[in-house]
């Protein structure tokens, strides 16, 4: 497929101004650019869902194309299975739909009207993946997906035989699925034949070169204007060609569109909270027979940066609401600290009135100004900080894109004074530049931050500790606190899993050895040796001592700032913990074997 010199204008400024896109069989392309730069529009033109005003579009007649919409339309479908099967072409395998629905956590019997955002996205993925098309166009495929589903999708796409073009804000996802990058910027495209991991360095080089060239153009104009005014040749006769070149340079300089501005914002300050922000003791919450949170305790101190991760339905939002006092626990208690001012960004965006205007939403209808960090600002000036144009102040919210809505909500909560920032899925629909801003805001925020996210890269860049289900594959209400970011959590989980495997192997070896030793002794003398009696009496005390050491180390490692401030000590403790757990398992197995032997002899 090939798009050549594509032009499309909405209003005054061209959205696409000579954009190109070429896709070869097996390509893995990520399409990147700011929100509103025209990425989805260009992808829809590639899919045949939109037409350019000018330019050439070529699609091979035999090429099958499937497009993943950001907002899928379930109209006319009774259930998810019929919706997914509608994407199949004649001759496609219908069992493929069953396979995909199972791996995406759907039965196929769900009613479309009752689907959550994540379920709707998984159903749409099943529909576009089922026919195994020649070209797969994915528009924000990871939005509303949990981490296990994102990792499954990465694995599924790695074995996909067709070409793929992806739009996504998830850096880690793009790094894993892309082998080429197309950058859509100010209506034109540039291509880098390397994956997204190399994009940002390349983009910065391109922008630096552009600045140098613009500076050179300005100097050239100055020289030509000097010649025009003072040159001897100019006084003798007019050099028409040279004057024409000067006019062309002036036009190029005047019409040069610089890169889209960067969001400029900072959180509004308020008086510090108390040192202890949240204290949760043995809290629990169940829905029917299903526990969402069980016997969880936590202390949150001022300045902590905490991330909540886990599969959809694990109970992240339930735990977050209990910790922030918006939901009462069934058991235990939550105590909030003093002087708390909480700002909340809700993933459902429930407080957005579709008919409200941007200015009215930001000011709560109180005139045309708002107070930010003690400074009175006009609403249009504040909107500019978040890349909104002044003429959008009276625009209804319903006309905004998903990314613009996310930016608007971010602008609102950052204008409110707060010292506890609660962010539930803040990265949905944000472009990478706005994500960078949000990352800087979280890092520089004077208060405390608790956030829920499935964005692995964002978590690694922002949080100092992670709360996750004890069992990621089958959450059962038990939650564990890990020091560090997402990658640190996964490393600690792997360390624990490796230790468990090692302990199991040692236990099996010890069991076999003890059995071999115990059987001859029982057969010959039918009584315990002095050494066995001594071990039977002393092992319980040794086990108790080891368990106390384990508890002390676990308490030390659970401190949120332990890993970040004392990485070497944390590593030593992790290694010691692995050894102690292996020792306890071995001693318990030895004591059990001896106790069985004693009962056999005495019986």
CATH code of domain 2-201:
3.40.50.300
338 burial (CB, 10 Å; 0-12 / 13-18 / 19+) is exposed
Sign of CA dihedral 26, 32, 35, 38: negative
220 burial (CB, 10 Å; 0-12 / 13-18 / 19+) is middle
Q: Given a cut of 70, is residue 525 above it in pLDDT?
A: no
Residue with tokens 């490393």: 491
Q: What does the block give as tokens for 442?
A: 């979280």
Q: What does the block give as tokens for 154?
A: 């990465």
Q: What does the block give as tokens for 141?
A: 């495929």
Tell me how crowded residue 34 is: count the other CB atoms within 10 A of its CB: 21
Q: What is the mean pLDDT of residues 199-212?
A: 86
Q: Given a cut of 70, is residue 243 above it in pLDDT?
A: no
Q: With beta carbons less than 8 A apart as the criterion, state whether 211 and 62 touch.
A: no
Report the run of H or E that residue 183 belongs to, with start and end: strand 180-185
Read off the pLDDT band of 235 (50, 70, 90).
Answer: very low
User: What are the tens digits of pLDDT across the range 410-440?
Assistant: 888 888 888 899 998 888 777 787 788 788 8
Q: What is the mean pLDDT of residues 509-536?
A: 64
Percent of the chain with pLDDT over 70: 86
The mean-pLDDT minimum among 225-234, 342-351, 519-528, 532-541 falls in: 519-528
Q: Which of 494, 471, 468 is nearest to 483 (CA)?
A: 468
CATH class held by domain 276-483:
alpha beta
Mean pLDDT of the chain: 84
d(CA 523, CA 511): 18
User: What are the tens digits of pLDDT across the range 135-175?
Assistant: 999 999 998 888 889 999 999 999 999 999 999 989 999 99
Q: Which of 193, 184, 163 is nearest to 41 (CA)?
A: 184
d(CA 128, CA 144): 17
Q: Which of 274, 275, 287 is nearest to 319 (CA)?
A: 287
Q: What is the predicted pLDDT for the residue at 292? A: 93
Q: 367 or 238: whose pLDDT is higher?
A: 367
Q: 16 or 536: whose pLDDT is higher?
A: 16
| Helix 199-230 × helix 240-255 angle, to 10° | 140
Longest CA–CA span in the chain (Å) reads 127
d(CA 185, CA 521): 81
Task: List Cβ<8 Å contacts ≥24 apart for 155-158.
Answer: 156/103, 156/129
Q: What does the block give as tokens for 380?
A: 């249009």
Q: What is the mean pLDDT of residues 457-463?
A: 90
Kind of pairing, strands 180-185 and 188-192?
antiparallel
Residue with tokens 């599969």: 311
Q: Which of 121, 103, 107, 210 is nearest to 170 (CA)?
A: 121
Tell me how crowded residue 158 is: count the other CB atoms within 10 A of its CB: 10
Report the run of H or E that residue 322 belongs to, with start and end: helix 316-323
Q: What is the predicted pLDDT for the residue at 578? A: 80
Q: What is the predicted pLDDT for the residue at 298? A: 93
Task: List Cβ<8 Å contacts ≥24 apart for 41-45.
Answer: 41/8, 41/15, 41/16, 42/3, 42/6, 42/16, 42/184, 42/189, 43/67, 43/137, 43/139, 43/165, 43/167, 45/3, 45/6, 45/8, 45/16
The fold of the 491-602 domain, in CATH, is Helix Hairpins (1.10.287)
DSSP states along 1-57 = -EEEEEEEESSSSEEEEEEEEE--TT-EEEEE--TTSSHHHHHHHHHTSS--SEEEE
Q: Which of 523, 545, 531, 535 is nearest to 589 (CA)?
A: 535
């Amino acid at each position: 497929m090939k798009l050549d010199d594509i032009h499309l204008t909405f209003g005054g400024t061209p959205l696409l101004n000579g954009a190109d896109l070429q896709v070869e069989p097996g390509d893995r392309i990520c399409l990147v650019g700011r929100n509103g730069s025209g990425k989805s529009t260009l992808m829809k033109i590639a899919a045949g869902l939109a037409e350019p005003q000018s330019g050439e579009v070529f699609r091979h007649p035999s090429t099958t194309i499937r497009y993943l919409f950001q907002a899928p339309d379930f109209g006319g479908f009774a259930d998810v299975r019929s919706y997914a099967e509608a994407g199949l072409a004649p001759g496609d395998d219908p069992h493929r739909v069953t396979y995909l629905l199972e791996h995406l956590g759907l039965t196929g019997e769900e009613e479309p009207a009752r689907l959550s955002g994540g379920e709707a996205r998984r159903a749409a993925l099943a529909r576009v993946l089922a026919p195994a098309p020649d070209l797969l166009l994915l528009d924000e495929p990871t939005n509303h997906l949990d981490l296990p589903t994102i990792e499954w999708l990465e694995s599924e796409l790695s074995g996909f035989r067709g070409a793929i073009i992806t739009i996504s804000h998830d850096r880690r996802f793009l790094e894993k699925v892309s082998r080429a990058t197309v950058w859509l910027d100010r209506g034109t495209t540039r291509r880098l034949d390397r994956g997204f991991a190399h994009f940002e360095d390349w983009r910065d080089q391109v922008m630096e070169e552009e600045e140098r060239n613009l500076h050179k153009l300005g100097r050239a104009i100055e020289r030509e204007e000097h010649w025009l005014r003072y040159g001897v040749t100019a006084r003798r006769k007019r050099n028409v060609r040279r004057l024409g070149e000067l006019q062309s340079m002036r036009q190029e300089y005047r019409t040069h569109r610089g890169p889209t501005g960067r969001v400029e914002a900072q959180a509004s300050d308020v008086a510090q909270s108390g040192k202890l922000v949240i204290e949760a003791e043995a809290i629990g919450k169940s829905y029917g027979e299903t526990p969402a949170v069980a016997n969880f305790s936590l202390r949150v101190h001022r300045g902590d940066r905490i991330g909540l991760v886990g599969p959809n339905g694990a109970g992240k939002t339930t735990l977050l609401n209990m910790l922030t006092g918006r939901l009462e626990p069934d058991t235990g208690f939550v105590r909030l600290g003093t002087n708390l001012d909480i700002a909340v960004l809700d993933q459902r965006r429930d407080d957005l009135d579709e008919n409200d205007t941007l200015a009215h939403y930001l000011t709560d209808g109180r005139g045309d100004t708002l107070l930010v960090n003690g400074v009175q600002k006009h609403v249009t000036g504040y909107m500019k900080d978040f890349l909104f144009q002044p003429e959008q102040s009276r625009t209804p919210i319903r006309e905004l894109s998903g990314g613009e809505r996310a930016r608007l909500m971010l602008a609102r909560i950052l204008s409110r004074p707060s010292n506890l920032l609660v962010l539930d899925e803040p990265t949905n629909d944000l472009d990478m530049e706005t994500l960078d801003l949000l990352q800087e805001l979280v890092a520089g925020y004077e208060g405390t931050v608790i956030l829920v996210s499935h964005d692995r890269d964002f978590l690694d860049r922002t949080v100092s500790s992670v709360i996750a289900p004890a069992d990621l594959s089958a959450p059962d209400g038990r939650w564990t606190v890990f020091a560090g970011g997402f990658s640190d959590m996964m490393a600690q989980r792997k360390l624990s899993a490796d230790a468990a495997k090692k302990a199991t192997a040692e236990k099996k070896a010890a069991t076999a050895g003890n059995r071999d030793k115990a059987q001859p002794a029982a057969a010959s003398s039918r009584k315990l040796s002095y050494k066995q009696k001594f071990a039977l009496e002393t092992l319980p005390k040794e086990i108790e001592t080891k368990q106390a050491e384990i508890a002390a180390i676990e308490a030390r490692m659970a401190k949120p700032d332990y890993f970040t401030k004392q990485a070497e000590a944390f590593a030593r403790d992790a290694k010691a913990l692995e050894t102690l757990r292996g020792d306890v398992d071995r001693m318990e197995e030895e004591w059990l074997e001896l106790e069985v032997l004693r009962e056999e002899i005495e019986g």
